[in-house]
Amino acid sequence: METLTSAINVQVDAKDKEQATNILKDLGLNMSTAINMFIKQIIKRDGLPFSVSNPRPSKELLESLKEGDKIISELESGKRKGYHNVRDMFEDILNDSN
């Protein structure tokens, strides 16, 4: 049985295409072969061969960002002391304990 082929025309960013082409070349592949592999995987998996999702920051990251904002606010309002180098910080700590 003869296999019929069909062309696909896709618009991509020129830099992305160049980078992808170079990576595929290093792998011994060309763009056409890579796209055909991708399509075969879509068919085989009955969906995309990778997870597609919107990245969401973890609870810990959100808490850390909130804490960072609080520290910046306290520094700006004078409620917290900041240092430009470790030596100044240690001097302040040593002077504070006397």
88 and 66 share one domain: yes
Global pTM exceeds 0.75? no
From residue 26, how far is each of 18, 35, 36, 39, 41 by CA, in Å?
12, 16, 18, 21, 21
pLDDT digit string, tens, across residues 41-69: 999 999 999 998 888 999 999 999 999 99
- The H-or-E segment that residue 92 falls in is helix 86-96
Range of the domain at 77: 59-96
In a domain, 51, yes or no: no
66 and 90 share one domain: yes
DSSP symbol at 84: S
In a domain, 75, yes or no: yes
pLDDT digit string, tens, across residues 10-47: 999 999 999 999 999 999 999 999 999 999 999 999 99
37 and 64 share one domain: no
- Tally the domains of the chain: 2
